[in-house]
Structure 1
Amino acid sequence: MGVLTDYFRAADAASVVRALQDADDRPLVGGRDPHFDGVEAKRLDPDLVLGELIAAIRQVPWEAGVVDGSPVWPTTPEPGPDGPQDEDDPWATGPWVVELGTAVRDTLAGVDDADVPTVVARWVQAEELRPAGVEDMQPLAEELIRLARRASGVGEQLYCWICL
């Protein structure tokens, strides 16, 4: 079982919640009738793998919290330190949506096109991306950068939809 992730842009968390209530747990990006403009990015979790990209752009080592975000879905309170207590808890089963911080959006949007190959070369050094190479990951990085630029250009936020 793998983790599926989609990154998308939306005006606000309320519009994401409305779309999720209408989506019947289907992804919000891709397919015949997407709810949002986004990028399908299998296994690119926001904390670690996207965090490695943000660290590569900023030219700093990855550390926990480099990608700031806040949960949007499920709308029920997060479980305590022992996690969800039953399998019907939406926090146990997903999907989950996280609103990424404005700093993440702006970091991605601010990458100069000429710098993308160098950034991706740093990014693919992350253990989580091995054995991927620049040629494997550059198209995805470019899509995320363009998505962030579109979001920034109209004052929208970036979100990550996550499902097992």
Structure 2
Amino acid sequence: MGAITDYFRATTDAAIVTVLERADGTPLVGGPHPAFDGVEAKGVDPDVVLGQLIAAVRGVGWRVGLTESSPAWPTTPPPGPDGPFDLDDDLWATGPWVLRLGRSVRDTLADLPAADVPAVAARWAAGSEELAHADAEDLHPLIEALSALAHRAHSADEDLYCLVCP
């Protein structure tokens, strides 16, 4: 089973932390009253699968770090390589995690012309083992939704984020 990944836009990391620390059940994305404007994209992890989409849009090869993601949540520093991890109570071990994506990712998606979506979908599907089960045409709505979200984020001078839940 894949991770739940939702992409959304927000003004600052602090705005996200406020919602997550409230712990009142308000979803960041989805549901009847989400905290943020977003897109549900189950299994589209930010570093590999979204990175492959960005590579497909730009017409370059995928590489580690292409999405320039950095942690926004949890706010505590991650444990060192030797832990300590409290597997029952450490957000770094249990999640959820929120990653801020680089502005170049937002701008790449925001600038994607609608006419290019079919070709991008074909390149994305062909260049991703993780999407081997997907038909390129089935990817069109997700690409269009992510592009529209990125466009709204760019227009509002906001960043794109990814919520990852195990």
Report the equivalent of 1:103: 104
In the TM superposition, 1:7-156 aligns within 5 A as: 7-24=7-24, 27-82=27-82, 85-87=85-87, 88-125=89-126, 126-156=128-158
> Once the two structures are superposed, what CA deviation does each residue of 1:82-135 show, in whole Å capped at 9, x if it has no partner?
455221211000000001110000010011111111011100011110020112
Q: CA deviation at 1:138?
A: 1.0
Other structure's SS at 2:72 match: strand
Q: Tell me, which stretches of 5 or more residues in structure 1 are unaligned?
A: none
TM-align CA RMSD: 1.4
* Deviation beyond 4 Å, 4+ runs, structure 1: none
State the TM-score, normalized to the length of structure 2.
Answer: 0.94
State the TM-score, normalized to the length of structure 1.
Answer: 0.95
Other structure's SS at 1:46 match: coil
Give, in whole Å, the separation in 2 of the partners of 1:36 and 1:52: 25
Residue identity over aligned pairs, in percent, reads: 60
Give, in whole Å, the separation in 2 of the partners of 1:110 and 1:129: 23
Q: Answer yes or no: is the 8 Å Cα contact 2:98–2:164 preserved in 1.
A: yes
Other structure's SS at 1:47 match: coil
Aligned length: 164
